[in-house]
């Protein structure tokens, strides 16, 4: 099944976040669904299983942080298998060619298709990485890592709309805008740039960051 066009809501909360845990992420997914989201992005088997209750397509990731390698979004085949076991039909993974303690992303894409029967959502940071991921057979290419890799640091405040436009002009597979789409207007601009879908995380599902953004506007303290 093809990911529908529309808004994807990323429901993630790290361990230091008061909303960490499948109960909260499951509720976030239900709220996102009721608000009109077409799919949910979630991290780790427990949260992936919980967001499944919303009945929407799930883009699953498994973040594993290592001191030796920069790649942490679904870095190897075992992580991808855990994502699919938990119920995700689409596996998102880091498709940059940065060092990792696992197989090359081109091999992972093939194995996820053949051995897990799942679709692959390629998280990339540059135009070249996106074109390569598509050539390796990814089903979707997403700008998730723009601003987070050595090649794209320092992270700008704005999302990388030009990257969406450049990829959409060259690829036939769907291009997904993800990363710092912090307002409805930016989401609209992403669709105008050729995005098939837009993933929004922080500004919908992270009340701590949303509160900080309001406080940072200069409210009296």
Residue 181 in the binding site for ligand LRY (CB under 6 A): yes
61, 80, 134, 176: which one binds ligand LRY (CB under 6 A): 61
102, 179, 193, 197: which one binds ligand LRY (CB under 6 A): 179
CB under 6 A: which stretch of 46-54, 75-83, 102-110, 194-202 binds ligand LRY?
Answer: 194-202
Structure token pair of residue 98: 């940065």
Q: How far is the CB of 61 from ligand LRY (least distance, A)?
A: 6
Residue 189 in the binding site for ligand LRY (CB under 6 A): no
82, 91, 145, 197: which one binds ligand LRY (CB under 6 A): 145
Q: How far is the CB of 119 from ligand LRY (least distance, A)?
A: 16
Cβ-based nearer residue to ligand LRY, 96 or 144: 144
Within 118-137, the residues that bind ligand LRY by CB under 6 A are none
3, 7, 10, 118: which one binds ligand LRY (CB under 6 A): 10
Tell which residue, 107, 135, 139, has the closest CA to residue 122: 139
* Contact between residue 46 and residue 20 where contact means Cβ atoms under 8 Å apart: no
Distance CA 207, CA 193 (A): 28
CB under 6 A: which stretch of 24-32, 97-105, 140-148, 210-218 binds ligand LRY?
Answer: 140-148
Distance CA 19, CA 109 (A): 32
Residue 60 in the binding site for ligand LRY (CB under 6 A): no
Residue 8 in the binding site for ligand LRY (CB under 6 A): no
């Amino acid at each position: 099944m093809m990911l529908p066009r529309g808004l994807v809501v990323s429901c993630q909360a790290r361990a230091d976040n008061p909303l960490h845990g499948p109960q909260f992420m499951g509720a976030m997914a239900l709220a996102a669904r009721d608000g009109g989201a077409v799919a949910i992005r979630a991290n780790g088997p427990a949260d992936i299983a919980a967001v499944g209750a919303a009945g929407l397509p799930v883009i699953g990731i498994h973040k594993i942080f290592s001191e030796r390698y920069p790649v942490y979004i679904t870095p190897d085949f075992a992580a991808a298998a855990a994502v699919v076991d938990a119920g995700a039909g689409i596996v998102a993974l880091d498709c940059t060619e940065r060092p990792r303690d696992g197989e090359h992303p081109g091999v992972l894409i093939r194995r996820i298709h053949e051995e897990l029967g799942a679709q692959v959502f390629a998280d990339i940071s540059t135009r070249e990485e996106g074109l390569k991921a598509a050539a390796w057979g990814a089903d979707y290419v997403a700008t998730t890592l723009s601003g987070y890799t050595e090649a794209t640091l320092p992270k700008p405040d704005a999302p990388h709309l030009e990257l969406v436009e450049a990829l959409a002009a060259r690829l036939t597979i769907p291009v997904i805008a993800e990363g710092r789409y912090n307002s409805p207007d930016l989401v609209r601009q992403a669709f105008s740039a050729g995005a098939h879908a837009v993933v929004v995380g922080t500004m919908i599902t992270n009340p701590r960051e949303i509160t900080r953004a309001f406080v940072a506007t200069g409210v009296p303290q």
